[in-house]
Every structure is written in C-alpha cells, then in structure tokens.
Structure 1
Amino acid sequence: MSKLNLAIIFGGKSTEHEISILSAKSILKHLDRSAFNLSVIKIDTAGHWWLIDESNLDEDAAGEPVTLVPGSPKAQLISLKNGSVVETLDVAFPVLHGVFGEDGTIQGYFKMVDLAFVGCDVLAASSCMDKDVTKRLLRDAGINIAPYLMATDNRIPSFEQVESELSIPVFIKPANLGSSVGVYKVKTKAEYDEKIKMALTYDHKVLIEQLIVGKEVECSVLGNEEPKASLPGEIVTNTDFYDFESKYVDSNASKTQIPASITEEQISEVRSVAVKAYQTMGCQGLARVDFFVTVDGEILINEINTLPGFTNISMYPKMWEATGIGYSELLSLLIELAINKHKSDASLNVKAREVK
C-alpha cells in the first residue's frame, strides 16, 4: 500500500501558539512513519505558512514560504518563492488550538481546496469554539450545563445580578479561547469589575459561570457516524482552579487520574453523555468533552474541545491509551477517519450535482 501524503500544520495566530508546538512535537514523535510521507508546516504568529524541517519546530519562520491551493485532482502545496508544486497532499492534520485553528476557519479553507483533514467540519468546530453557543445547543438537547450569564462589550451584567443569579464566587472566561487563557475566579465586586474588563480584551463575548463544587472530569470521543467514548479521566489540582500555569507550567500544581475516581455508574453516564453531546454538536473525528461531577452526583458538561492538546501530558491521548488505543494507533485512526469523511462528503456532492 502506498504512503499517504500528510501535512502536519501547527503554530498559528492564536494565544495557544506555543501549546500547538508542543502538540506537534508529540504527534511527530508518535506518528507511524511507514504509512505517511510528511510535510511539516508551521504557521507563524503573523499567519504566514512555512514548510520546515521537523527539527526546527521552535525556530521563527525558518523554512520555505508556501501556500495551499486546489489541484487536479489533489490539493497542492505551492512554493511562494517560485510558484512550483512542492507536494500534492492527501490529508492534513491541523495541530492548531484556539482561534484560526479550532474555530472553523482553517476547516473552511481545507474544504475550499478539497483536502481531507483531521477533526470536525466548519459548523461543529465554530459552534464548539463558542462556549455560549455550545451551552445553548446542549441545553436545548436536554443535556445539563453549568448555569451562566453572558457579558459583551455593550452589555455587562451587574455584580448584584451575578451574585443574585449565580452566587459568588464565579468564573469569568472568554467565550472563544482555550487552555484557560483569560480565565479568572472572582469573589468581590472590585475583582469582578476588573476581571470582566480584562476578559473582554481577549474576546467580545465573556461567560460568567457559576462555581461548581465537585470533580473535574474529561472524556475523549473518537469517530464519525458511530463515535465511541474513552474511559474518563480526572483533573486533581492543588491550585485554586485548573488554570494555564497548572496545565503547562507547574508540574506539581495538578495531576491526572485515569479512570476518574467516580462510581462505575457515573463512568458509564459520563461516556454516554459525552457521545450524546458530540453528536448534538455534529462533531466528527475527535473531541474532548469536559464535565463537572458534583458532590451530589450530578453530571454537568463544562465545554467541548474539538482539537484538544496532544502534548506529552495531554488527556485526550492518555484517556485513549487507558482505554486500549495507543498514541500511534490513535493518530492513524484519526487520519483514517479524515479520509473516510472526505470520501463521504465527495459522494454527497456528486449526488447533489446529479439531482440538479
């Protein structure tokens, strides 16, 4: 069987640029090299694309400037130096977290150039990226969510309203960021007034969420038409909450436990609700569904990440490893799902043209 031409695309313009680099390093370390011809593309913080050697992931714009265009019959990677075709591609793996990578933006680009890609399509990616939209859709589907209020540049709930409807303390978080960037826990009116303004420098929409006392539990989901859920894992943190420092900087601030220390019945329910939420949002390929399990045993969804971290400490691959799918096998499955999704979409397009 011939090798697939695979593009690993990482970096990007989001605040999670550095986390993307760590994810890309881990993926490249575990990828089955016998199955793929690799093109490694780094998007710098200005949005420029560079074809690089994988030994230079940390270097700034070191490589050949490239772009991606439609080809016949495959998408083509084009050199911006001389306009030549560098490679024809079969599939892309966008290792891009946050805005421009996880919000439907690059997914739309891949669809425009007719390139198979790992992960959710445009609508699911953009809907899950916006935590407000996610919560509304899950709530309409009868799935429990943490109570919240919304703030925008022009409409900020008063501290008194927040205290009345949600109680204090609350969490403030941008609607369209990840990795706990711009997330604050507030207990006083002074903190609230300050942190709301700070959060609104990251996004035009900000969630004000009720504090949920309980366990932070995550579950990995994998698949297209018939998704499966992994054993759930638990985040145990020694800090006030699971912030950016706890995730990526201070290794002693938190630890993970797989499976989560909840009952067998709760594990089963978390897995079932994770799949239901995944299907409700129209996800394909992969997603990580984050939960709260309260002290009373109630299960609430916190958020859904359609392109979760793949670093050496990231929960998505670790939960699948605990469920019986190793990191290398997981990557191959994700790429296979991407190819199958692309073929299915192409078949639908052909049928649509025939009807017309």
Structure 2
Amino acid sequence: MSGTPRPTSRPRVAVVFGGRSSEHAISCVSAGSVLAALDPAKYDVVPVGIARDGRWVLESGDPERLRITGPDVLPAVDGDRTTVSLARVEGGTGLVVSDPSAPPRTLGEVDVVFPVLHGAWGEDGTVQGMLEMAGVRYVGAGVLASAVSMDKAFMKVVLADAGLPLQPSVVVTTRSWAADPDDVRRRTEGLGWPVFVKPARGGSSFGISKVHDVAGLADALATAFEHDPKVLVEASAEGAREVECGVLQALDGTPETSVVAELRITGDHEFYDFEAKYLPEESTELDVPADLPAEVSGRIRALAARAFDAVGAEGLARVDFFVLPDGSVVLNEINTMPGFTPLSMYPRMWAATGVDYPALVDRLVQLALARDTGLR
C-alpha cells in the first residue's frame, strides 16, 4: 500500500456504473446502493453512467432512479444525458463534461473511481486498464486479477494450480462446437449428467442452463452462446449446499474473510437464476451465517482467502463454494466485483461480521485512496 499524501479537501469519488454487458441493470442497482451509502460530508461524489452503447454520461445521483421496480422494469443509464470523459487536467486526471451547446468544462480532478460494473467491459480488466493508463486510483482488483476471475475457464486454471478444489468442466467455443459437435458431446458426457452450461465470462446467471441429458445440450449451448462465444460446461454438484464467503482487504493488504452464508432456492427455481437472485425474495432463503460445523466454516474461509491471493485480487471479492453431501468443499467461482444490490450476499455477510454497508463502502474507497496506480 502506498503512503502517498491524500487530498486535503473532500476526495472526489466517481461512481461508474451501467456498461455494455448483459448485467447493465444489475450494475445500476448496485450503484444506487453505493451512491446512497457514500457520505456527502466526507466525499464529493460524481455519478457517471456508461450507456449500453458505451457512451459515458453524467448521470443522476438519485438512488431511487436506479431500483428494480418489477420483472420488466429494470433501470438503465440514460445515454442522452451530457457526455463526460476522463482527461488530463491541472494536477492530474479529471472529468470533462462535453455539451453541444457550451464549451467543454471540467469537474475537477478525480481522486478515486468506484467501478460498480458487473460482467464484460467493466469487471474484466478493461476499465481497470484504462484507469491505470490514466493514472487514476480505483476500487477493487487490478487488470490481471479482474480478467482472470471474469473468465471462468482461466480462473479454474489459476485456482487449480494453487491447489484449490474445483468441479470438473470442459470449455466449448462456437468454433469447436461448429467443427466437431460429436467431440463436444463426448467430452460433456464424460462429466456425467446433469451439467450446467454457462457463459465463460458472464454473471448474474444470464445464459445459464441446467442440462439433464445430451438431448438438451445443443439448446443450452445456443442460449449460452448468445452471451459469450466461449462457454463452460460443468459437472453439477448434485445435492450440494451453496455457500459464499466475502473477502475484504485490510489496509496492510491482508485478506480478511466474512462469516459464511448459505442460500437455498425455493419454489420453481431449479438453481440460483436471475429471478431468484434479484426479484421476489421469497424465491431464496438466506442463512447468514450458515448453519455449518465450525470446522467446515473455517475451511471455507481459509479457501476463500487462498483464492483471493491466488488470482491476485485487491479490495474485495466474493468466493462461492459447494459443500458436497460427503462434507467435502469445492470452489465454484470468485467474483471481484460482487453485487451490491439490497439483496446481495456480499454486504449481508459483512454486516453479519460486524461491518455495516456504509462502513464497507467507506473502507473500499479508503483502500483505493491508499494505494498507488501502476505495478504494485
């Protein structure tokens, strides 16, 4: 961590959200919660939206505008608002507003960016790389950790090399499926049925299908390919309990872990799909903390910290696990920018560990302010 002096005035925090990925709406909801939690007496907060077409705009800071109000009423960045960009200004890098009816004007230097972005073109190292090039501090993992953790196929390579337990899987691309579908079917059948078919670089359960036999494989791949030309087919952890653990860095860089939480799917949901995650809460039952033996919870927390270090994460991460019927634990995935919606597990786990939502957001900003850009 850096000892670079901090600004004497209120640090300017640009909360960046939206983006081009299929998780645009969830990013908006997460950002609404972050905007509401940042103390205006402590921080000068600037809401910056990325429209679905990639345009950066100066957005509304009203958290209510960024809520999900129904299954078909999802929030989105208003791409018609005033355009904003990062540019060199006196003293560093700042936000410049461009309006066709007036000369460009600067909002001043940006001290830290909070990229509340989920999925491709945001959580995958692309925005992080841009911020590194601009010399701007930001919340969360760096370029490599973000990219590796976003791509589930490469994530598994890195975590397996670190000796972490994982479910068996195969990678399928649009090219390999078109060239030799029989080979894909053979490799998939080698995993045993059922399997999960998921976009390799997706999130929020978009494009995921549970497949019970080879007859359903083609349709599931087609659904996943709508979101990503690279797909992961993974053996289903049948009868497993789904648990999660939050990781949060201390100021000295040490990864600290939250209590372990369990989610249980109810109703007609066969797995933790989009509706179960973000819509009616009665679709999901949450136990925070999870009712697990202390030894199992301790093992999960230790594995979460190992996974965090294995990918080189910074700031925060949520690590998801399966507890199998025989009591063994396997790691499902690591998320370097987990959801911050009101229903999200990450803030719930930290609240149960003693760090409430405003304190969590504040700590992440302080961590970002305390570190240098560039290699570290």
SS at match of 2:281: coil
Report what 1:158 is aligned to.
184
- The DSSP-based 3-state class of the residue aligned with 2:244 is strand
After superposition, residues 62-101 of structure 1 pair within 5 angstroms as 63-81=81-99, 82-101=103-122
Percent identical pairs in the alignment equals: 39
**Aligned counterpart for 1:260 among listed residues 260, 274, 290:** 290
Q: Give CA deviations for 1:101-127 in whole Å, capped at 9, x if unaligned.
A: 100000011111111100000000000
Match of 1:110 in 2: 131
Question: How far, CA to CA, are the matches of 1:5 and 1:162 in structure 2?
Answer: 50
CA–CA separation in structure 2 for the residues paired with 1:160 and 1:253: 35
Question: Cα deviations across residues 2-21 of structure 1 (Å, max 9, x unaligned)?
Answer: 31111111111110111111
Note the C-alpha offset of 1:74. Answer: 2.0
Matched ranges for 1:6-45 at <5 A = 6-45=13-52
Structure 1 runs not aligned, ≥5 long:
350-356
Secondary structure in 1 aligned to 2:370?
Answer: helix
The CA distance in 1 between the partners of 2:112 and 2:104, in whole Å, is: 21
Q: What letter is aligned with 2:256? A: K
Cα distance between partner residues in 2 of 1:263 and 1:253: 26
2:163 alignment counterpart: 142
Which TM-score applies when normalising by structure 2?
0.88
Q: Normalised by the size of structure 1, how large is the TM-score?
A: 0.93
Contact 1:236 1:256 in 2 (8 A): yes
**3-state SS of paired residue (1:70):** strand
Aligned-pair CA distance for 1:60:
2.2
Supply the distance in 1 between the matched residues of 2:89 and 2:127 (Cα, whole angstroms).
18
Out of 225-234 and 150-159, give the one that drifted further.
150-159
CA contact (8 A) 1:290 1:303 kept: yes
SS at match of 2:322: strand
CA deviation after TM superposition for structure 1 residue 171, in Å: 0.3
Distance 2:371 2:322 in 1: 31
* CA offsets 1:173-220 (integer angstroms, 9 cap, x no match): 010000011000011222112111221221121111001021101111
Q: 1:220 aligns with which of 237, 246, 260?
A: 246
The secondary structure found in structure 2 opposite 1:235 is: strand
Of the three residues 252, 257, 279, the one matched with 1:249 is: 279
Are the equivalent residues in 1 in contact too, given 2:30–2:339 (CA < 8 A)?
A: yes
Q: Deviations over 1:312-338 (max 9, x none)?
A: 010111100000001001111101111
Any idea what SS the aligned residue of 1:272 has? helix
Corresponding residue for 2:57? 50
State the Cα distance separating 1:62 from its structure 2 match: 5.0
Aligned counterparts of 2:247 and 2:211: Cα–Cα separation in 1: 32
**Kept in 2: contact 1:52–1:62 (CA 8 A):** no
The whole-number CA distance in structure 1 between the counterparts of 2:222 and 2:310 is 33
Q: Which runs of 4+ in 1 moved over 3 A?
A: 56-59
**Aligned residue number for residue 316 of structure 1:** 346
Q: What residue is the counterpart of 2:369 in the other structure?
A: 339
2: CA distance between counterparts of 1:86 and 1:64?
Answer: 13
Q: Name the SS of the counterpart of 1:252 in structure 2.
A: helix
How many residues align? The count is 345
Quote the Cα distance in structure 2 between the aligned partners of 1:161 and 1:221: 34
Counterparts of 1:128 and 1:303, CA distance in 2: 8
Report the residue type matching 1:29 in the other structure. Answer: A
Secondary structure at the counterpart of residue 154 of structure 1 = helix
Cα distance, 1:160 vs. partner? 3.8
Partner of 1:201: 226
Q: Look up the match of 2:212.
A: 187
Match of 1:183, as an amino acid?
I
What is the Cα deviation at residue 54 of structure 1?
1.2
Query: d(CA) in 2 for partners of 1:44 and 1:98?
Result: 14
RMSD: 1.6
Mapped partners of 1:161, 1:48: distance in 2: 41
Letter in 1 for 2:88: P
**Cα distance in structure 2, aligned partners of 1:38 and 1:144:** 41
**Cα offsets for 1:298-320 (capped at 9, x unmatched):** 11110111001000010111100
Alpha carbons 1:71, 1:113 under 8 Å: kept: no
Note if contact 1:70-1:114 (Cα within 8 Å) is conserved in structure 2: no
Given that 2:137 and 2:371 are in contact with CA atoms closer than 8 Å, whether structure 1 keeps it comes out as yes
User: 1:120 matched to which residue of 2?
Assistant: 141
